[in-house]
Amino acid sequence: MIYQRSIPAEELFSAQLEMLMHSGRIATVTANMLGVLATMVLFWQFVEVSWLLVWACAVLVMLLARSLYMSNALVERRYLERPRRAYWQLLVGAAITGAVWSSTYIAATFLVPEPVQLVFLLLIFMVITLSMGVTLALREYFIVHLFTSLWPIAWWCMAHYWEQGNNLLVGLFTLGVCAVLLVVSNRVYLSFRNMIALNWERETMSRELGDLTHSLRERNRQLLDARAQLTDLANVDELTGLGNRRVVNQVLREEINRARRSGGELSVIMLDVDYFKNYNDTYGHPAGDVVLQRLADLMQRATARAGEVVARYGGEEFMLILPGAGEHSALRTAGRLKELVLAECIHHGQSLVSPYITVSQGVVSIRPGASLEPADLVKVADRALYEAKDSGRNAIAFAEV
């Protein structure tokens, strides 16, 4: 993700159009409508009422049409889809509005006294000045409005300087007002541009920070999932789905500490598949893998209590960790497992003790002392397992600690 430091020109242009229409559709129309009402009051005694009403209605219709156009353009988002077309249509609307005021002034010079003309000119100045604050989001729009309203008045007055004594002065003054408004409008316009660019930058930064936060949250979730998967890969035997030797060591340490604190018992069963090498040599390693998987399922069925753990210690050796189980309970579990294995009737033609797969089991049950380590318990269980093998296999041996 690359943070863009400045607003692109096309986005700035669209933002200017949007801001102009948001503010102009009400404020500009309102300012011009007030000017129309003030003009009617000003000209009431000097112009025929019917003509004055026709003029006012025509101007109001034009202003309402402009406002409706801006509203529709905002709803249809023309400033984004067809910005250049919307731009020129707005300029045409500004030019028409300015031309209405300049032509009305020129016509008024033939109808009303000179003092009323001057008041009317000040009224036009006021309308333009009020409009300036909301139309300078787009400088060209204000310039078109300014020059179509005041520029014709200025040059008409200077061109007809002999008709009224103040015409030349009015023309020069109007040109001066145009120059001042141009300078002021340029500064205000730059402020508008900077404000639009700053708002865009803040919105872009906020949006990109939001996207970055979402991306980081998603990445963290992926990392946690990957970490969990790596933990599973490190702790789970791929073939049987049981815990591996690492799990055995970890669980034994935790259960020894727990039994030590509570004064409870802890039992361990270590078992080995009898003559498993002969089975692999005869039936192949894939068949041997299937046997280990079926034994893993049987051991999980034999351990029903919460907290009991079944793990593959290595090769064909497995370990059952039975927290809280004493000697008799552990021996019952070993006996149940022996029955489950025999009932499975997995054919083993090379076994010297049975035509089916059998297991030898070494059982240990203790109350852990302060010096007992997991490795010590594993050694005792391993010794018990070898005793079961030495006794003829398919046997259960119990070892004293």
Going from N- to C-terminal start, the domains of the chain cover 9-209, 245-399
Residue tagged active-site, from 316, 339, 373, 387:
316
Using CB atoms within 10 Å of the CB of residue 117, give its burial: 0 to 12 exposed, 13 to 18 middle, 19+ buried: buried
pLDDT grade for 2, boundaries at 50, 70 and 90: very low
pTM over 0.75: no
Reported as a pLDDT band with limits 50, 70 and 90, residue 1 is very low
Q: Are strands 266-273 and 317-323 parallel, antiparallel or unpaired?
A: antiparallel
pLDDT over threshold 70, residue 271: yes
In which band, very low, low, confident or very high, does the pLDDT at 19 lie, cut at 50, 70 and 90? confident
Residue 359 φ/ψ, nearest 5 degrees: -130, 150
Q: What dotted CATH number matches 245-399?
A: 3.30.70.270
Residue 302, exposed/middle/buried by CB under 10 A (0-12, 13-18, 19+)? Answer: buried
Instruction: Tokens for 98, please give them.
Output: 């300015």
316 is catalytic: yes
pLDDT tens, position by position, 358-398: 999 999 999 887 788 889 999 999 999 999 999 999 999 99
Pick the closest to residue 267 from 317, 295, 309 (CA basis).
309
What's the rounded Cα separation, in Å, for the pair 77 and 35? 30
Chain centroid to CA 73: how far?
30
**Pairing assessment for the beta strands 359-366 and 396-399 based on DSSP bridges:** parallel
Q: Tokens 């980081």 appear where?
A: 216
364 contacts 322 by C-beta, under 8 angstroms: no
**Mind listing the pLDDT tens digit for each residue in 39-93?**
898 888 888 889 989 999 999 999 888 888 888 888 888 878 888 888 898 889 8
